């Protein structure tokens, strides 16, 4: 006799209903509390960014209307013959400004092309994307844009390389205005692939290194870790250099002062320090011009050198503040400049004009406490 098993279908259906339904695209798994907090924070940031963009757009509109109104009032208050002269003078002034800006853009492009042939090679290593959050990668992309702008206005620009330009960080870079026309080397692969058979010339700049960088060797290729991690991954660049068997070195910051509350320099600060050293051949000048006073403590120059230090002090106040940037809508990175408003306006214009400045790609291709180079005291 064959035994027959009777299934209680209603009971089985009830039991199945009590079980958690499988996660599907229509029924995604519930978010954790931390994930929900991150999502809400991101939504608040995006809302604030949209609000800032709207306010800035309205401010620009009102400013334009005010200037037009003032111009119309000025014309209305002068005789007819003087009115024509004023209009012609204004057009001539505008034409001269445009010609001057075009000339400056051409000179910057020429300097960058020359640097691509014989400039000091500096690599931004972008292979740390897996260690960063989306907001940190966006912050890094803005720092890279600032690096490019500063390099273009430098008297002795470097030959900049971006390696590891792929994945999310590559997507972030593609969103930057004019990025496709930058005169900069862009490599999807690592610096090992970009500099085959030159391993002996690779030098990773990391504050954990024992060797102090005294000079910039034109033969060497200096690597800066492209990492924004709020100091979560200490020693990661030194570990990478050791594992790869390449040289490492640290900036001689401790020879001049100690970094204060924050032991961190941003990617753009390190690049700008190297550029200043290429111009001046003096580390002290480079450090005082680039590192903000709030990050410096310890012994300052004495005697007559105090006057030079005071001058450098004033110049050093014009630093990029990454935490102050307004990154919305392809606008220029905004920087906080405390004493050098004119320089700020010039640099802002240079970044906004990135798409106009350069043609072709040579690829064979603001100071937050975001880590890229940790200073050793």
pLDDT for residue 38: 82
- Whether 181 has a pLDDT exceeding 50, the answer reads yes
Do 110 and 136 fall into the same domain?
no
Q: List the one residue out of 221, 190, 225, 191 whose CA is nearest residue 206.
A: 225
pLDDT for residue 271: 96
Q: Is residue 356 part of a domain?
A: yes
Do 123 and 113 fall into the same domain?
no
Of 99, 118, 137, the residue at which a domain comes to its end is 118
Residues 6+ apart with CB under 8 A from 230: 136, 369, 370, 371
Do 286 and 214 fall into the same domain?
yes
Domain containing 200 — which CATH number? 3.40.1280.30
pLDDT for residue 298: 56
Q: What is the pLDDT of residues 82-105, one digit of tens each?
A: 888 888 888 889 888 998 888 888
pLDDT for residue 208: 87
Q: What is the pLDDT of residues 235-266, one digit of tens each?
A: 889 999 999 999 999 999 888 887 765 557 88
Q: What is the pLDDT of residues 224-243, one digit of tens each?
A: 999 887 667 778 899 999 99
Q: How many domains does the chain have?
A: 2
pLDDT for residue 8: 52
pLDDT for residue 259: 73
Q: Is residue 273 part of a domain?
A: yes
Do 223 and 127 fall into the same domain?
yes
Q: What is the pLDDT of residues 275-324, one digit of tens each?
A: 999 999 999 999 999 988 877 765 454 444 433 444 444 444 443 333 33
Q: Is residue 251 part of a domain?
A: yes
Between 294 and 156, residue with greater pLDDT: 156
Do 136 and 214 fall into the same domain?
yes
Q: Is residue 14 part of a domain?
A: no
Do 155 and 275 fall into the same domain?
yes
pLDDT for residue 262: 55
The two structure tokens encoding residue 280: 């001046």
Give, in order, the Cα–Cα distances in Å from 87 to each of 26, 71, 94, 199, 317: 64, 10, 11, 62, 39
Strand, helix or coil for residue 327: coil
* Domain of 96, in residue numbers: 67-118
Between 278 and 73, residue with greater pLDDT: 278
Of 118, 148, 183, the residue at which a domain comes to its end is 118
DSSP state of 188: S
Do 143 and 260 fall into the same domain?
yes
Point out the catalytic residue in the list 208, 217, 229, 370.
229
Kindly report the average pLDDT of the chain as a whole number. 76
Q: Is residue 40 part of a domain?
A: no
Do 196 and 292 fall into the same domain?
yes
State what percent of residues in the chain have pLDDT above 90: 37
Do 80 and 178 fall into the same domain?
no
Mean pLDDT, residues 108-131: 90
Active site residue 125: no
Q: Is residue 55 part of a domain?
A: no
The residue whose two tokens read 């291709």 is: 365
Do 81 and 219 fall into the same domain?
no
Is residue 166 classed exposed, middle or buried when 0-12, 13-18 and 19+ CB atoms within 10 A define those classes? middle
Q: List the one residue out of 233, 274, 255 whose CA is nearest residue 374.
A: 233
Q: Is residue 49 part of a domain?
A: no
Do 96 and 231 fall into the same domain?
no
**Distance separating the N- and C-terminal Cα atoms of the chain:** 89
Mean pLDDT, residues 116-122: 92
Do 108 and 139 fall into the same domain?
no
Cα atoms in the 13 Å half-sphere on the side-chain side of 328: 15
- Whether 119 has a pLDDT exceeding 60, the answer reads yes
- Whether 342 has a pLDDT exceeding 90, the answer reads no
Q: 0.85 cut: is pTM over it? A: no
Of 75, 96, 118, the residue at which a domain comes to its end is 118
- Whether 327 has a pLDDT exceeding 70, the answer reads no
Mean pLDDT, residues 356-367: 39
- Whether 66 has a pLDDT exceeding 70, the answer reads yes
State what percent of residues in the chain have pLDDT above 70: 69
Backbone angles phi, psi at 264, to 5 degrees: -125, 140
Q: Is residue 31 part of a domain?
A: no
Q: Pairing state of beta strands 185-187 and 159-163?
A: parallel
């Amino acid at each position: 006799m064959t035994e027959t098993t009777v299934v209680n279908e209603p009971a089985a259906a009830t039991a199945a209903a009590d079980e958690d339904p499988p996660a599907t695209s229509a029924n995604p798994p519930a978010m954790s509390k931390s994930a929900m907090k991150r999502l809400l924070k991101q939504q608040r940031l995006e809302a604030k960014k949209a609000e800032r963009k709207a306010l800035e757009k309205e401010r620009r509109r009102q400013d334009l209307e005010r200037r037009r109104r003032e111009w119309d009032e000025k014309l209305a208050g002068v005789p007819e013959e003087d009115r024509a002269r004023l209009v012609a003078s204004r057009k001539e002034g505008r034409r001269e400004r445009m010609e001057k800006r075009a000339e400056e853009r051409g000179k910057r492009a020429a300097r960058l092309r020359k640097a691509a042939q014989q400039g000091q090679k500096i690599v931004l290593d972008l292979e740390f994307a897996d260690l960063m959050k989306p907001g940190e990668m966006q912050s890094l992309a803005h720092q890279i844009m600032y690096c490019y702008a500063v390099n273009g206005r430098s008297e002795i620009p470097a030959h900049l390389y971006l390696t590891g330009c792929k994945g999310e960080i590559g997507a972030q870079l593609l969103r930057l205005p004019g990025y496709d026309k930058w005169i900069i080397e862009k490599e999807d692969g690592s610096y090992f692939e970009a500099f085959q058979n030159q391993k002996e010339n690779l030098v990773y700049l990391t504050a954990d290194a024992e060797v102090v960088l005294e000079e910039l060797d034109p033969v060497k290729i200096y690597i800066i870790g492209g990492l924004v991690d709020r100091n979560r991954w200490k020693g990661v660049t030194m570990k990478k250099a050791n594992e790869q068997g390449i040289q490492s070195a640290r900036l001689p910051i401790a020879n001049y002062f100690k970094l204060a509350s924050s032991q961190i320099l941003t990617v753009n600060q390190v690049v700008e320090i190297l550029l200043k050293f290429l111009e001046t051949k003096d580390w002290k000048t480079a450090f005082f011009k680039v590192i903000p006073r709030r990050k410096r403590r310890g012994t300052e120059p004495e005697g007559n050198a105090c006057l030079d230090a005071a001058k450098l002090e004033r110049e050093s106040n014009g630093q990029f503040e990454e935490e102050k940037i307004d990154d919305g809508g392809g606008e220029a990175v905004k920087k906080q400049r405390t004493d050098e408003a004119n320089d700020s306006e010039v640099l802002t214009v240079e970044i906004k004009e990135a798409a106009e400045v350069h043609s072709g790609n040579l690829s064979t291709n603001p100071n937050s406490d975001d880590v890229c180079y940790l200073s050793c005291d």
